[in-house]
Amino acid sequence: MNIERQEIEKLATLARIAIDESTITEVAERLGSVLELVDQLQAADTSSLDGVSSGMQATQRLREDEVTEINQREALQATAPDTEEGLFLVPKVIE
Amino acid sequence: MSNSGWETVIGLEVHVQLATKTKIFSGASTTYGAEPNTQACAIDLAMPGTLPVLNKQAVHYAVMFGLAIDAEIGKESAFERKNYFYPDLPKGYQTTQLEKPIVGRGNVEIQMADGRTKNVRIHHAHLEEDAGKSLHEGDFRHGVSGIDLNRAGTPLIEIVSEPDMSNAEEAIAFAKKLHSIVTSIGICDGEMSQGSMRFDVNVSVRRTGTTELGTRTETKNLNSYKFMEEAIAKEVERQIDLIEDGGTVLQETRLYNGDTKVARSMRSKEEANDYRYFPCPDLLPVIVSDETIEELRRNLPELPDARQARFIEQYGLSAYDAAMIGSDAAMAAYFETATKESGNAKLAANWTMGELAARLNSEDLSINKSPVNAEQLGGLVARIADNSISGKMAKEVFEGMWAGEGSADEIIEARGLKQVSDSGALEQMVADVLAANQAMVDDYINTDEAKRKKKLGGFMGKIMQASKGQANPQQVNQILVQKLNELV
């Protein structure tokens, strides 16, 4: 399975992952072999089966709509790089 | 610019914040207006090792919406991850539904001002989580934004319509109808100014008579009907100008700033269709049993259309009044209480839609926050209905109630506003005024019969003044005419 160089670059951009120029060919080959595996799975005839969203034969548990989490801002912001007046500070983002 | 020769095609995506107490996947509170990040727990912040657990109430609210628009309910629905990077989305993906939404195809009937109705098809509605808020203005250092994640994880349903609307009026009628439905069934507080309902508007144009859809743009995050109307008008004009000048419309996301009236293209968060959706491995398929659906159906509150019909039938309201009051759940409840209290539906309707609505509007208050509650207004209406006070006095009493001076009866008593309807007292009052103003009486007698009516105002003014505004005007008028005619 061939993956174009451009596709790797685009995926890296979308995933915010820096990929070294020299490793692109190798990454393309490795991802290609993953896709080959997917192709093998795709080849299996599943037309007689219902789709499953999960490997487990279970369904989603639901919780009651009750407040269980109290304010822990101080603890949760302790590891944040930068905060001010209770806000997390990040490099400016403007859309 | 003229739009002749062109047709507009509009579809809406509507985000509705569900009125749950807690987030869709965590037990953190959703109360509006809390201090920044005090309602964002480890799950909302996407701390490693946390797992989402779905809120039952959010699922039930979504199903209730489906039932309200007569939609297919997804008995088995599933969550996907929609991947993009933005600081107000700590997980790096939004948990949403794509392949198996909880609400399938449905229908919403809208009514235009001229009485025309139209069906708008709903493509589907799905459950998802809201993102946090980015604050760009503040006392932050240059080049920094502040992030408040209190809203992150607030449950939403996104309602996606088919492109069935052909002008702004229809789009707004549709938006209002959805507002009416979600507030009537109690799944959303409907507070537009707090972002409880937000509208994305998809607009395209095509030459009249053609059937192929033009390229559409999406204007995101409009939170008022007025902004929607302005944004649609601007976008339609822009697209027509563009095509007539030989250009082509690009499929893009746009923003409209309601304050500056400026629309612009938004740099896309990701390139189109590159959200790399995949099934969320943290969440299992959501099963809604037939029993649950039936129970929710049985307990579904009255829908706006049914309520409007009932108001016409039960209270004898006009279709217009019934639509005005019946479309708003809170106003409908207010009106019914005021009617029960006063025994006069028509007057209660007039006061609810008139004086009360105007006053709430001018002070930017929702009816739930009204300083005058429904019982109080009912008390006032009762005194108007039994002729204890005139319409003019009623406005004074209303002002008193608004200022917190108590019930209508208390204010009438305290201010001595009781209207004089005792005919003996009124006759004496009229006789006194006539006796004291012989010149006016002579003038009246010497005036042509056809023109005499115009002279009555002068007498009325003096009598009302003498009674300190408390005389029943209709009765005074009757007595006055009778007495003057006896003199002619």
pLDDT tens readout for residues A61-72: 999 999 999 999
**CA atoms of B488 and B471, how far apart (whole Å):** 25
Chain-chain contact of A67 with B27 (C-beta, under 8 angstroms): yes
pLDDT tens readout for residues B9-60: 999 999 999 999 999 999 999 999 999 999 999 999 999 999 999 999 999 9
**Residues composing chain A:** 95
CB atoms within 10 A of CB B76: 15
Asked if the ipTM is above 0.95, the reply is no
pLDDT of residue B271: 53
Q: pLDDT class for B281, splitting at 50, 70, 90? A: very high
Q: What is the mean pLDDT of residues B86-104?
A: 96
Residues of A with CB under 8 A from a CB of B: 10, 14, 16, 52-54, 56, 58-69, 71-73, 76-77, 82, 84-95
Q: Which fold has domain B423-487?
A: Arc Repressor Mutant, subunit A (1.10.10)
Residue predicted with more confidence, B426 or B305: B305
B414: distance to nearest CA of chain A, Å? 47
pLDDT of residue B392: 83
- A1 pLDDT exceeds 80? no
Boundaries of CATH 1.10.10.410 in chain B? 423-487
Chain-chain contact of B146 with A89 (C-beta, under 8 angstroms): yes
Q: pLDDT class for B239, splitting at 50, 70, 90? A: very high
Please, how many CA atoms are within 13 Å of residue B34, restricted to the half-sphere of its CB? 19
Chain-chain contact of B135 with A84 (C-beta, under 8 angstroms): no
**CA atoms of B248 and B256, how far apart (whole Å):** 20
Chain-chain contact of A92 with B143 (C-beta, under 8 angstroms): yes
**CA atoms of B360 and B368, how far apart (whole Å):** 10
The single-letter code of the amino acid at B82 is K
DSSP characters over A46-79: -TTS---SSSSS----EE-S---BPP-HHHHHTT
Q: What is the mean pLDDT of residues B393-417?
A: 91
- B330 pLDDT exceeds 60? yes
- B269 pLDDT exceeds 70? no
